[in-house]
Amino acid sequence: MLRIEPAVAISDRRELTGLSLSMFRLSQWLASPRPYLMVVGFALFLGFWYMAVEVWKLPRFEQLPGPTAVLREWLSSNPTYGTSIYTSDYYVDIWVSVRRVAIAFFLATALGVPLGLMLGWSQKFKEYVFPVFELLRPIPGLAWVPLAIVMFKGLETPVIFLAFLASFFATALNTMLGVQSIDESYLRAGYCLGASRWQVFRHIVIPGSMLYIFTGLQISIGVCWFSLVAAEMVSGQYGLGYLINTSYITVRYPTIIIGMVTLGAVGYATSALVRLVGDYMMQWRVRELALGGQS
Amino acid sequence: MLQPIAKPRPTAPRSGALRIDQVVKVYDPDGAAVLAVDHCSLDIRAGEICIVVGPSGCGKTTLLNAIAGFHKIDSGSIFLDGELLCGPGRPQAEPGPDRIVVFQNGALFPWKTNLENVAFGPVMQGSLSVKQAHEKARSMMADAGLSGTENSYPGEISSGVRRRVEIVRALMNDPKVLLLDEPYRALDSLTKSVMHEALLEIYYRNQVTIFFITHDLEEAIFLGHRVVIMTSRPCKPKKILQVDIPHPRRYDVLTTPRFRALMDETLEAVHEEAIKAFVAGEREG
């Protein structure tokens, strides 16, 4: 955990907001050993991959493309298997996947957060809706594929729908737990101070469940990618899942790895973005943590 | 905290008298009725600091929650300045800014700055604009020695300071009664002594009625005009002790013979109840 020296914290903390605070944190991070340990971790992983595949040719690894082969293919202006950073198809695949995830995640959040808030806030609403919700939630995304294709026209909407579903359940459930986790005294304090039921909802319930909501969104963006790739492998055209699947069928092994690594990077980026938005919206939490959780 | 303590306001406050009349509260969580409060009657004068002590789980908090309007009573009635808060035909009082609770574990909203917390009441009630409320909050915080903490979040300040912010948040609404439920339970004894003098100072300036629950007998006698010792469950007054040490008080009264004598008197009564509660195996709460 990042621990700011007390002297710095007291003099600077209150001045720093938004971007300058982020820059401050970045400089603290760079001054700590953490980024360098991370680099070592990556080096060990890539080193093992290289040795296992290209030098030792270990059983089970001998069929795999090694890191140099993947890198050569990836950076080649004239790739053997047709996909590299110089081919426009690569970017079409990335863009199509990102767009699908963005739409699915946006819809899941826009519907899941209000549903979760309602479930947590109104006992009556919960009694109507939650049993149905809990019955639908464990159904794996892939089981929805036939229905999705029957329900939605075209190739695009079924894929988005499948990515949406998993994401939606994760968000709604965590939001509900967030509302339920709010300490009763906050609500009581609100009423004591003269807030109406709506004001308590707006000023206590929503911000009070924010921590859980963003935990939910972290999970949600993850499962969104997960089901998107599964859906792209089953149906749909373009997209990173589609790229991986067609590369497998057409025996383009380095391209599979390119697709996988790209998914990892793009997935990480979207996840980091969600975290960043969360930190921005919960400055109070960030500041508490910066003090080392002192209370 | 060594500034001279403000003189009590000469005029006695006209409002904030609480009358608890034959209140009964039964808990019935799983079919077996538990009598928490049994025909409890207590008159709290306007502007009085009334301290309630009693064994853990005796039902003191139940009484406080009934006054605050957090739950129903089963019979009896509670009046504030002659007006019915709850009673026949109205089992639960409406929570409102005339009776504000300061909670045991603190209930400052961690997602609002201290200033926003203090300004919360008037802004919600619409009695002040956000700007006016912030101005008033700033000046009240300055009066309570809380300047410089306005833009911090509650998670960034010490628990003692947090408790003071919470009391100022309550006072922003000119409440008739402050209901404090063991507010200093979690504080260490050094911080506690500072908090006691700070609370008295706030009290001398505002003369609000204070209903204060505690386990700490020293705290009880140091702060209170009267100390009400409750019986073990069901809760009702066993003994009411007049603390005849004149206000304003400072921490040096703790060593006076009179204070020790009052301590002994209270201790005896409380100890008896504590043993009863222990034998009955009440859950702490």
Strand-pairing partners, residue B229, are B53, B239
Contacts of B152 in chain A (CB under 8 A): 14, 287
Interface membership of B211 toward A (CB under 8 Å):
no
Q: What pLDDT score does B277 carry?
A: 75
**% of chain B surpassing 90 pLDDT:** 36
Flag whether A13 is in a domain.
Answer: no
- Is A92 part of any domain? yes
Cα Rg of chain B, angstroms: 19
In this predicted structure, what is the pLDDT of residue A9? 42
CA distances from B93 to A71, A194, B84 (A): 72, 13, 9
Q: Report the pLDDT value the prediction gives residue B104, as an integer from 0 to 100.
A: 84
- Could you tell me the two tokens for B225? 């005009």
Whether residue A21 lies inside any domain: the answer is: no
- Cβ contact (<8 Å) for A194 and B103? no
A164 domain-assigned: yes
pLDDT of residue B13: 58
Q: Do A288 and B110 touch (CB under 8 A)?
A: yes
Is the pLDDT at B110 greater than 90? The verdict is: yes
- Encode pLDDT of B128-177 as tens digits: 999 999 999 999 999 888 899 999 999 999 888 998 899 999 999 989 99
pLDDT for residue A253 is more than 80: yes
| Residue A163 and residue A220 in contact, taking contact as beta carbons nearer than 8 Å | no
User: CB–CB of B155 and A193 under 8 A?
Assistant: no
With a cut of 90, say whether residue B184 has pLDDT above it: no
| Residue A219 is assigned to a structural domain of this protein | yes
Residue A75 lies in a domain: no
Is the confidence at residue B7, as pLDDT, over 60? no
Q: Which residues from chain B sit within 8 angstroms of residue A283, using beta carbons?
A: 153
pLDDT tens digits, B80-101: 998 899 988 888 999 999 999 9
Q: Supply the pLDDT for residue A291.
A: 74
Contact A186, B110 (CB under 8 A): no
Global confidence as pTM: 0.84
**Is pLDDT of B124 > 90?**
yes
CA dist A188 and B70 (Å) reads 7
Q: Judge whether A208 is closer than 8 Å to chain B, CB to CB.
A: yes
Helix (H) / strand (E) containing A265: helix A253-281
pLDDT value at position B266?
87
Report which DSSP code applies to B93.
P
Looking at the domain assignment, is residue A226 inside a domain? yes
Supply φ then ψ for residue B49, to 5 degrees: -100, 110
Q: What is the mean pLDDT of residues B239-259?
A: 86
Condensed to tens digits (0 to 9), the pLDDT of residues A116-164 reads 999 999 999 999 999 999 999 999 888 998 899 899 888 889 999 999 9
Nearest chain A Cα to B71, which residue? A188
Kindly indicate the confidence band of residue B32, based on its pLDDT and cuts at 50, 70 and 90. confident
pLDDT band at B4 (very low <50, low <70, confident <90, very high): very low
pLDDT of residue A2: 44
Question: pLDDT confidence of A17, banded at 50, 70, 90?
Answer: low
Q: Does A9 touch chain B (CB under 8 A)?
A: no
Q: Give the Cα separation of B109 and B228 in Å (integer).
A: 32
To the nearest whole Å, the CA of B102 is away from the closest chain A CA by 8
Nearest by CB to A194, which of B97, B151, B153? B97
Token readout for A85 is 């950073």
**What is the Cα A181 distance to its own chain's centre?**
23
A23 within a domain of the structure (yes/no): no
Is B236 a residue whose pLDDT tops 50? Answer: yes
Residue range B121-128: average pLDDT?
94
Q: Does the pLDDT value for residue B1 go beyond 50?
A: no
What CATH number should be reported for the domain holding residue A261? 1.10.3720.10
Q: Which domains does chain B have, with CATH numbers?
A: 18-98+175-280 (3.40.50.300)
Pick A295's closest partner by Cβ from B97, B107, B155: B155
Sequence-ordered list of residues with C-beta below 8 angstroms from that of A56, at least 6 positions apart, any chain? none
pLDDT above 70 (res A70): yes
Host domain of residue A146: 87-284
Count of domains observed in chain A = 1
The answer, yes or no, to whether residue B11 has pLDDT greater than 70, is no
- Segment B69-89 shows an average pLDDT of 90
